Structure 1
């Protein structure tokens, strides 16, 4: 039985008086560049509910941006992390190692695609994982160029800003960026000029042609792609695109990196989204859902590639922190015991059923897409496909006021994304979708 009742409750204006009081303190001491989607201050969270300091309970359709996949404060995560806290909080794996790090690497070797020998290195954030994947690929191939894709997002460090496609808010005013990064088209089916049925083969041909002519395949260390593009709008590359890029990488000695930071760990109804088309990446980056809310990330891949970097070349003071490793083992245990892949598929069934029905009723919903618990609706202006960021923002604001936490995304800021904890009750999901429908109806 949940300590927090699993039901939506709005008892004050949003934000309430206590949140407004803390917000005033925040404005005086927290850098303005750190934004927040919803200016309420969390007090407790569990299952599919987030409770703020004023006692309002929000249905959580964001999961802290795909992090609390197993729910906030999942029992196995709390129990294992608490036990580790009591033993020791830190030694630095590079100074005196500990078993938890090894156990997480073993789980990653078992769960990630492919039956080849695999090794892992652990870090703190998704951006760190991507940056280290580039270091490893360059060390292995002795090449420098890195290929990324339109609408891709890979982080906020200097190198990962260069890899990220969208300027605002991620890159504006922060350059110059790291060199030897090249961007090519992605198979965005809904917006492909010759129609969705052509997007896969045509986008792959264009991307490969640009790589070959503008960079030279023999100069490319790595191709990095999200199997479902997250911040760019929950774009599923059209069928055939990823296999064509995977084959091209194999034929040209290029390290194929699947960035599964947002899409991994049961989020799409499979352990990893690249499994949908049978893609076996050379390296896979993970974070977010890996540790139930504690900071942990990983690069996992072919043993011979992972071993290319010299001893001491990979690491970091907090990388693979023992408490975070304990939490990860608890999160993975929960995913297996509750069969969260099956739960993700059930969430997709419910959400797509409702959203497609709304799409047929409201012209402003141009596309409904995604897999598992990673679903999105793209909003357009009536009569075409012009992005409609205004209605997107209005719907999100109305949902927030009614006690449903939703997030927006997309290169054009016109996508509402749904990332519920995979343990969410179906009654909560239905209630949240009712609120979304009401917000949509009031906004058109």
Structure 2
């Protein structure tokens, strides 16, 4: 099978680099792996060994990938093969990195590079030689001092200044003058840097004492930058710098807590706002539903009113016609019958009420008749204060009480004495 043939030639292909097509014809019939033939001459064996060792020194390694079935999943495994060592599959993909050139760095490669670095750092014995120091050149020393001041290298300027002070006794004339001028220039620069350094640390100490975290965060980089080109910090300065770092870390933690609290507060406000908006939306929906229900009820009422309007109008016309009939009946009765004052007043009141119920259905003549009877009707106050009739004398002719219309019968004492009824 092709897969079995590949397995039989795998070792030789790995060691010699020969292609499988060339080795396939050399496979034996015993299904044994194809071995590497021995060298025919000692020189050939030495050459092969030298090439192999050179390849090992170069680092000829190969990254290999295989897939393993685990249930219904296919798991990719990454391995690194070293010459004459084999393939190491015992690491995870998360342990690998990629360098700036895009090369894959596995733990095997890291271990190999660490071994090579350790070998490279091994000191190589060198023959002992005595180094003779020549005399210091005053001109070069002066130039170095000016160059250190120009580049703002405070530590180098200190060392060169101290060296120049040691060279002052052996200088004279113009060289002494130039060297002294350079030393003074360095002293001025160093004093200025010392003042700036003290000022920075004083400001940092004050910012820590008063709790100005913004000033502390601004001053710490300046102090560290100043210390890079100057001498090491004193114990007091180191303590101040350590306190500043601790203060800044605490300020950062406090700011983080405040941000979290503000975030939680904003989230709570957002939830409250959402709840308020939801309540307002629910209220708006309820108002809209109530308005729709009211409009529907009003439309139904209007429709019902439009449906009932003809019946109502017919009933109103019928009632007015009935009231008109009562008006006609009452006016005819008033015109035909002789009524007492109380009966007349009651009929006139009933006539006025019927006229109001009839409304504009009455004719102008009927309305005038109603007004005339209302004016002719005596008021209730006048009827109460009506004077009693005077008794008649004996000389007058006796008249029957029936001949007096609209008057009550009055019993006279004289009639009772005379025996008249």
TM-score, with length taken from structure 1: 0.15
Greater per-residue strand proportion: 1
TM-score by length of 2: 0.15
The structure with more radius of gyration: 2
